[in-house]
A and B are shown apart, each in its own frame.
Chain A
């Protein structure tokens, strides 16, 4: 009796396993199908369409007119604003990504060391700006806080650091800076990733280092930092890609001004496509952005061999 059921079970088991037929033969495809459909309809097809449109002039009223590489030529040769937007975006990314990561790492290390209950409170306080930071409400608030009659000016006046109000957002030298501060303010999510990474470093490493007489700083440089490099790598990559795509903040806080000093790339793309209805031009800008981001990603991956430490390889 028992042997029979076992045999039956074994039969069933072989029938259901792998690609050997039965209802499970196509299960993988069925499960993956929704994503694949979405990918074809709303990613691949639009991408191909975008590539085609980028070689045309198209205003959505008349049909597209093929112009070859004219849009790309115009962008690279004659477009002053394109160059400005690339410059602004690069400066923004190169300023806010390192600052944000430095902040998040420093705070994560501080919080990790305390280890008491109150850490949960700090963690929440530091993380909340990250979750609300992308909203229009926060962008509007930022515009007001940094306005001439805003809170920042009032505080600086009270402290005696300035003697008259500064138009932070209207001044070409400071406008981009306010957006960088807004970005650095949202250091919460990389901080959480760093905190989780710190938890994974075995306590025994530090104990061994302590026996060898290493101080806190030396422990940080020799143990914490190398073991965190994979996490740092992930953060750098994600932050840079997101930095290139920044839109809401620039659109709401400064709308590209003053004198295009905060004309982020995606904002420029938006203006060309949806204010001037130069869809072909906009698509060409989008493809250039894609190639740009791809290029950056490859570079970051290439350099990772030199500075990212993977424990399994190291030993």
Chain B
């Protein structure tokens, strides 16, 4: 009696979660399936998840891009900006995190407080002056305005990596010190290798955020051949520019494929990383 009751509630529970998952995931599935629908079907049957006839023409048309620039270029641009930015952000954040976590120096507390305060600083307050700065320096339509402000280390990552370093026993540093290592070699040989999980987590977020960044590219990039994916999708989907919805859906899917791939490969690091930043603050 009790066993069947338990089983029943378990089935009910999973049925509920499955339905809920379906509703949650419906928009994503819808976007993917719409990218394989013909234009006529997109209009006639907007809510269905299974195209009556799978067509690849949306992908082929979408990939042609606009202004003589293919979608491949936009993808490569985004890949370039995001990768360079990620490597620099994570490397510098790790350096700074080590500086704060394992070194004593005058003014450290003040600097650390300033860094934590910038965590709460809305980046929008910096947009206008940065725009003026970079325009004066003649850097519009280059990637430097997208890279420079964040590449010297992001407080969020510095903080996360610091939490991670605090979990590494200080005895390791001391032992290395006795063996003749100085702070720099300790960082390079002892701490850095142990930091790998935290670095991977930071790298994933850094990549995601750069990949999806919209405001800054919108301000600085003017020529189509420099556009990143997010700008390209927006331009593509502008109501006055295009009405080829199938192609727009296809390229929307294309623009989130790298994000999903990284998620599938590195899920573990993401989940753990989020947990540590949220708990230890």
Contact = CB atoms under 8 A, between A and B. Distances in A.
A234 B278 contact: yes
Given A42-B130, A135-B259, A125 B24 contact: yes
Contacts of B133: 45-46, 49
A254 B133 CA distance: 30
A35 B24 contact: no
A244 to B, nearest CB: 7
A23 B214 CA distance: 43
Interface string A26-46: 111111101111110111011
Contacts of B208: 131
Of A196, A197, A273, most B-chain CB atoms within 10 Å: A196
B193 interface: no
Interface string B59-97: 000000000000000000000000000000000110110
B183 interface: yes
B236 to A, nearest CB: 8
A192 B274 CA distance: 7
Interface of A is mostly: helix
Contact of B275 (A38, A131, A143, A193): A193
A245 interface: yes
Nearest to B103: A28
Contact of B187 (A31, A252, A270): A31
Given A42-B126, A118-B14, A192 B24 contact: no
A200 B278 CA distance: 12
B46 A22 contact: no
Contacts of B40: none
Nearest to B254: A137
B177 A16 contact: yes
B50 to A, nearest CB: 13
Given A9-B178, A231-B278, A287-B125, A19 B104 contact: yes
A271 to B, nearest CB: 12
Interface stretch (A92-100, A149-157, A205-213, A218-226): A149-157
A129 interface: yes
Interface string A138-163: 10111111000111111100100000
A289 B125 contact: yes
Contacts of B98: 31
A24 B182 contact: yes
B182 A16 contact: yes
B182 A23 contact: yes
Contacts of B158: 35
Given A43-B121, A43-B126, A53-B128, A23 B184 contact: yes
B255 A290 contact: no
B180 A289 contact: no
B127 interface: yes
Given A9-B178, A34-B92, A39 B114 contact: yes
B143 interface: no
A249 B184 CA distance: 44
A31 B2 CA distance: 62
Interface stretch (A66-74, A76-84, A278-286, A302-310): A278-286
Contacts of A129: 24, 27-28
B127 A27 contact: no
B151 interface: yes
Given A30-B99, A35-B152, A145 B27 contact: yes
A193 B279 contact: yes
Contact of A38 (B153, B259, B281): B153
Given A34-B96, A122-B21, A189-B274, A137 B255 contact: yes
8 contacts: A30-B99, A31-B95, A32-B99, A34-B95, A38-B92, A47-B126, A270-B127, A287-B125
The list of the 3 closest CB pairs from A to B, nearest first, reads A31-B99, A38-B152, A196-B275
Given A60-B135, A125-B21, 18 more contacts: A18-B104, A27-B105, A32-B103, A34-B95, A37-B152, A39-B114, A39-B152, A46-B133, A135-B212, A136-B231, A136-B252, A141-B27, A185-B27, A193-B278, A196-B276, A234-B278, A273-B131, A290-B125
